[in-house]
Copies of this chain bind each other. A is one copy, B any other.
Amino acid sequence: MHTLDQLNAMPATEFVAALDGVFEHANWVAEHAARARPFATVTELHGALMAAVHAAPADVCLGFLRGHPPLSPKALADPGLTASSRSEQGGLGMTSLGDRLAAFETGSAAYEARFGFPYIVCVRRQTPPFVLKGLERRLANSPDQERAAALAEIGYITRLRLVDRVNGPGMPKTAGHLSCHVLDTARGKAAEGIKIELFREGVLVLESVTNHDGRTEAPLLSGEPLRTGRYELRFHVEDYYAGWPNVTDPPWFDVIPVRFGVSDPEGRYHIPLLLGAWTYTTYRGS
């Protein structure tokens, strides 16, 4: 971890070494950007790095794209994979695609045949179904469109890698935010002690519980991009209602599922639940 001040002050070779791996097998990117120092903000540093990529001759750029590892469970077994790529792909979990993994492998091969470089996507911003969906959509691009799309994804990838390595002013926004709030509109106060499960594309991501303010102590998700996909909060309210008048067996509500889609990985999502005795309301909050 370096500060931006340190990066601004160090010799160019050290600067390049400090950013080694941010751009996959492409230290020439940092070499170019080094000349533009000093940078006032981390966002400016990232801009300079991406500008170097965009300014590179077409064949150099193509070589850079070709230098990316394929996105595939098999690639994880390749000892030549960079640590960043290994961690990013490992966190994605493409095997959860099950039957559709074969379609993804076929599509990836078609993509590489068509465009001459592997399908590149910032996987920290995605769930496997949307990685697959994006592949299908991008296969229809023209070569120019697709080169731009791949570079846009590289922008996302390297922005995330950069903020993991540099501290300084003007950090680019790389994180989303997901929170919830349970109000008890039957009693006119926050609903405390309600267990919450968060699922993403059918996979349990975390469990939490509401505090005296009807919120979880920490945001459900923050500090990372929210992965694009379908989410479900499950509010376990059966115990909360126990002892209320007219509780039936089974109770009217036991678990309240709230499904919603996350389309903006850097977005702010807030899910209130207004809980009455025989009713509830949910909405996209702010």
Report the minimum CB–CB distance from A179 to chain B (whole Å).
Answer: 14
Interface centre among A185, A248, A253, A257 (most CB of B within 10 A): A185
| Residue numbers in B under 8 Å from A264 (CB-CB) | 248
Report the minimum CB–CB distance from A274 to chain B (whole Å).
Answer: 6
| Residue A76 interfacial (CB < 8 Å) | no
CA distance in complex: A286, B189 (Å): 6
**Once the chains bind, are B183 and A286 in contact (CB under 8 Å)?**
yes
State the copy count for this chain.
Answer: 4
Q: Which of A271-286 contact B (CB under 8 A)?
A: 274, 276-286
**Once the chains bind, are A283 and B185 in contact (CB under 8 Å)?**
yes
**Once the chains bind, are A259 and B254 in contact (CB under 8 Å)?**
yes
- CB contact between A277 and one of B186, B190, B251 (< 8 Å): that residue: B186
| Residue numbers in B under 8 Å from A246 (CB-CB) | 187-188
**Once the chains bind, are A248 and B277 in contact (CB under 8 Å)?**
no
Q: How large is the interface on A (under 10, 10 to 19, 20 to 34, 35 or more residues)?
A: 35 or more
| Residue A260 interfacial (CB < 8 Å) | yes
| Residue numbers in B under 8 Å from A285 (CB-CB) | 183
Interface centre among A229, A263, A276 (most CB of B within 10 A): A276
CA distance in complex: A284, B277 (Å): 9
| Residue A262 interfacial (CB < 8 Å) | yes
Q: Which A residues are within 8 Å of any B CB, using their own CB?
A: 130, 183, 185-190, 213-214, 228-230, 246, 248-257, 259-264, 274, 276-286
Would you list 20 pairs from A and B whose C-beta atoms are within 8 A, ordered by A residue? A130-B250, A183-B283, A183-B285, A185-B278, A185-B284, A186-B186, A186-B277, A228-B250, A230-B250, A248-B261, A249-B261, A252-B284, A253-B261, A255-B259, A257-B257, A257-B259, A276-B276, A276-B279, A276-B283, A278-B284
